[in-house]
Amino acid sequence: MNKKLPRLFQPNMRLTFFLLTAFAAATFFIGGYNRILAGAEFVVLIFLYLYSRVAAKRRTAKLMEYLGSISDKMDITLRETPLPIVIYNSDTGGIIWSNDKFISITNMRDPLFELGISDVVEEFTWDWLLDGKSESPAPVAVENRMYRVYGNVVRSEREYFAMTYWVDVTEYERINTEYLDSRLIFALLTLDNYDELLKGMSEKEKAVLLSGIDEQISIWAGNCGGYLCKYDRDRYFFLFEERHLDSFVSDNFSILDKVHVNIGADGVHATLCIGIGKDGATPQDNYRAASLGLEMALSRGGDQAVIRNRYGFEFYGGHSPQIERRTKVKSRITASAFGELVGDASSVFVMGHKVPDFDSIGAAAGVCCIARAKHKPARIIMGNENESAQDLVNLLKQSPEYRDVFISERDAILEADSKTLLVVVDTSRPELAVSETLLLSCTRIAVIDHHRRAAEYIDTAVLNFVEPYASSAAELVTELMQYLVVREDIATVEAEALLAGIVLDTKGFVINTGAGTFDAAAFLQRMGADAAAAKKIVQPDIATATEKYSLMRGAEIYRDGIILAYSGDLHSRVSIAQAADELLNIRGVSASFVAAWDGEAVYVSGRSAKGVNVQVILEKLGGGGSQSTAGLQLRGASVVQVVEGLKKSIDSYYRS
């Protein structure tokens, strides 16, 4: 009804005759001499109607004559063609002529007045014709049939009209839909905390717990008639048709929550990872995609489902708190592999993310310490300078070991050779690294990061030490140092730089800490780090503190303990991040988000104390990070637009 109202008031013969008839009727019922006037009006109305019919027939005849003149070489006429054809004004949509086939498929009667093409086929639009295309982008539904529309725009003496041919593709669309729906989807499932879950349980208790999990997975998978097979103690293979994938997605893979209710002897909840592969040319391609999806889910902390399709990754779940699963054995093996890479390299280049922070610089200093212990030259590649991190850089430059360590991206590209080892710390996303060019130039790359892996990641690395359970990149580098260096190899300023990175990312050992965090801090203290000096490094200056509190002044509770603060004024990223940290200290606040313009883009900093995964929220807008600390930067958008998108992402997070 709403679509038809605007067309009702467009100039056309239908509206004209309706108004004239209404006016004549009103005149007649007034009575007196007005009835004579009304009679005259009815006579004029009948004359105009007959004239319009004759004029319409003449116009149609002229149009057919014109169409015949441009189709003399065709074997059949437009009227006799088996294809439905309709011709209409390309500006107004008013139908000029149609053949009998089109009338039959639309059940359209010979119109008393002008009809628009949208009156006959409501879903039809012809923007594609005006854009110069000759085929409709999608089939058009007409009376339970599907038609692919072809056409072009023709110019007559006074106007442009569209000539369209309607081809019935109902059977093709049915077969195509059935083919797409019946394609096989490969899924790999694994209990990602199998060992922690069953620790301390008897064989009987293990059997009962695993039997319950098997039953829940079987019920979830059995509703779609797929094939489920348990091929290892903690791994499952699931094969099903694509028609059922939307139902799994719509309930946000409810099996993740159903499995989570199973609890081990130590109070550990069972968590499941799902990797799904689709859109592959062969079953083998789909299996590889499912394996990649499972690997991505595990690298992001588990308890989630990841779909790998032709476009990239899609993430679902991942809301439960992360549990530290690192072991000393894994750290020792990784340290040994990293030490061999450094020992075989001609030189070591280290870079973090653009606009480096204390954690990025501290981790880079730790890598330089390892390289120096292996007697390899090391360089730290600097990008955009950050005033706060620059203080730490200046402090390192005062040490003799770092006199010529910091170089630019350009110099690094000139110095790199085929045996150079490039170590990327505090990020695994190529677009966030200081130099994407260097990533493409180096063949030996190692990644050390504590953020959840994003859809776009450095996939050419020969060593990945990505642990989302860690508090910081500095903590991970410190773990490696425990197996690769001795006390004499570590400069005091390096130990304090690493400790400063840990202090910053844990907000003074308050959030996102584990046993490994305190082990790393204790090791650094034994290596000469002064906790008071490390804390002094991360303290803000008066200007940053003033900015921080000006941002906090406009904070408001959005929902469920989520606090938002934003400003259209210019603010440094340091003050934005520190404002988010400070807001988290307010009673009743479980997560904080601060957004402001930093001079280049709108920067958003998210922090979480418990229960809320800020990385999942900001990831939907293009950001990333870890469960408790995440960030986002958007160019070409206003602060208000970003905040509106942030609110929608928060609402979506709580609905899922």
pLDDT at 364: 96
Average pLDDT across each block of 10 residues of the chain; the chain has 656 residues. List them in order: 43 61 69 64 74 70 57 50 84 81 78 69 86 88 90 75 90 92 95 88 92 94 91 95 93 90 85 94 94 89 90 81 66 93 95 90 96 95 72 90 91 92 94 91 94 85 90 94 94 94 87 86 93 85 87 90 91 88 89 90 88 86 85 89 93 83
User: Which residue type sits at 142?
Assistant: V
Q: Please give the Cα distance from 512 to 359 (Å, whole number).
A: 14
- Inter-residue contact 313 to 342 (CB < 8 Å): no
pLDDT at 65: 60
- Inter-residue contact 523 to 478 (CB < 8 Å): yes
Q: Please give the Cα distance from 638 to 618 (Å, whole number).
A: 16
pLDDT at 71: 46
pLDDT at 442: 92
529-568 as b/e: b if 16+ CB within 10 A: beeeebeebbeeeeebeebbebbbeebeebeebbbbbbbe
Domain covering 543-655 in this structure, CATH number: 3.10.310.30
CATH architecture of the domain with residue range 328-538: Alpha-Beta Complex (3.90)
Place of tokens 């069953």: 198
**Superfamily the domain 85-174 falls into:** PAS domain (3.30.450.20)
H helices of 434-583, where?
436-441, 473-484, 492-506, 515-526, 531-538, 542-552, 573-583
Q: Token digits for 635?
A: 């160019």
Where do the domains of the chain lie? Answer: 4-70, 85-174, 203-317, 328-538, 543-655
Q: Please give the Cα distance from 110 to 78 (Å, whole number).
A: 18
Find the largest Cα–Cα distance for the chain: 119
Domain range 203-317, CATH class? alpha beta
